Amino acid sequence: MKKHHMETMLIHNAYDTRSYAGSLTPPLFQTSTYTFETAQHGEKSFSGEEDGYIYSRLGNPTVHILEERMAALEGGEAALAFGSGMAAVSTTLFSLLKAGDHVICSKGLYGCTYGLLEMLEERFGITHTLCDMETEEDIVFAACANTKVIFVETPINPTMKLIDLELVANIAKQQGWLVVVDNTFCSPYLQTPLGLGCDIVLHSATKYIGGHGDVVAGVVVCKTKELAEQMKPVRKDTGGIMSPFDAWLLLRGLKTLAVRVERHSENAWKIAQFLKNHPSVEKVYYPFDEKNPDYHIAKKQMTKGGGVLSFTVRGGKQEAQEIMNRLSLITIAVSLGDTETLIQHPATMTHAVVPENVREQMGITDNLLRLSVGLEAWEDIAEDLAAALC
């Protein structure tokens, strides 16, 4: 099939209306199981001698369309869909690692990913090292003889620091490590890590892929079919697959990803400029801000800055919380990538599980706020912030 632009692939890829009675939108196969014509047909389906659906924890046609579309968007050979972003993260790590292995991860991770790594260390003997990954030396210094995987978030939740994916991928290739990138903040519209040499990309599809705050889901895209095949039995046996209805909602969400992310990025850039000029704001962290120390990385690997920014306010936790409570249009909630502008206080919310000294190393201070800029008129968002920051 001809390779189309991203905007077209978001709408058309991996679905042929002729295969499904002409239905314009992909049908929802809301079924838990599939019938076999004979006992032998069932036997052959289980042995793999015959292709076909068996049971929806293993696969489902609606989920499969989403997987194929996501694989095409990220430029991978295969994808797997999950019931949450954390199911995507955990199944990926379970699939690639065993007791005694070591992971190098970015010094900054979503709180539950950090919690999972701590659990893997305490209970399953899989160790990890947090690393700035600013230079080759940083990465080599963090490595051990048993390092197998580099796990990277970029932009990092919630500090918005960036990591040079090409640098990481080149070192990993020399060493024989696999690189996993959490691409949640960008979506494939802004960044495609597989094209930079990384091996696995994952998403909390709860965020920009869904885009409307009504689904919790995850997706993993693998560079090779072999990696995806390695993960399938782990997903089957840990059971974290996506539901057909959620896949259907995500296929709908994907159709507008390009226009949404364009507007999210435009709004976020304007709000970043507004905050930078506000006397109550200390620092603003936004990838596509020319003053951002990571701007050169942003320009290299992202097409736009995305919809999330973070900023520090004068004062500490109390001042930050008071500002949140004075907002009226902007909603206090975790999650991001929704149509509504959401604000949260990472130190006491998404990253409360991270011990204080580690939060400090990650740059998550008590006066840091994270804003997921929505699709409202940016002037209204700015006005609400102006009233709360006074």
Q: Exposure of 80 by Cβ count < 10 A (0-12 exposed, 13-18 middle, 19+ buried)?
A: buried
Residue of 69, 101, 110, 235 marked active site: 110
Which of 45, 80 has the CB closer to ligand LCS? 80
Residue of 44, 53, 55, 57 marked active site: 57
Interaction site with ligand LCS (CB under 6 A): 84-86, 89, 110, 112-113, 153, 157, 182, 184, 204, 206, 216, 218, 334-336, 350
Q: Closest residue (Cβ) to ligand LCS?
A: 85
CA nearest to 254, candidates 59, 14, 1:
14
Q: How far is the CB of 116 from ligand LCS (least distance, A)?
A: 10
CA nearest to 25, candidates 6, 36, 12:
12
Residue of 69, 161, 164, 182 marked active site: 182
Which of 15, 343 has the CB closer to ligand LCS? 343
Q: How far is the CB of 345 from ligand LCS (least distance, A)?
A: 11
For the question of residue 57 being annotated catalytic, the response is yes
Q: What is the DSSP letter of 152?
A: E
* Residue tagged 């998403």 (tokens): 203
The amino acid occupying position 147 is T
For the question of residue 246 being annotated catalytic, the response is no
Which of 15, 364 has the CB closer to ligand LCS? 364
Which of 114, 274 has the CB closer to ligand LCS? 114
Q: Judging by DSSP bridges, how do beta strands 331-332 and 200-204 pair with one another? A: unpaired
CA nearest to 218, candidates 198, 202, 199, 234:
202
Determine the Cα–Cα distance for residues 72 and 188; give it in Å rounded to an integer.
10
Determine the Cα–Cα distance for residues 190 and 17; give it in Å rounded to an integer.
28
Residue of 148, 161, 207, 260 marked active site: 207
For the question of residue 20 being annotated catalytic, the response is no
Active site residues per annotation: 57, 110, 182, 207
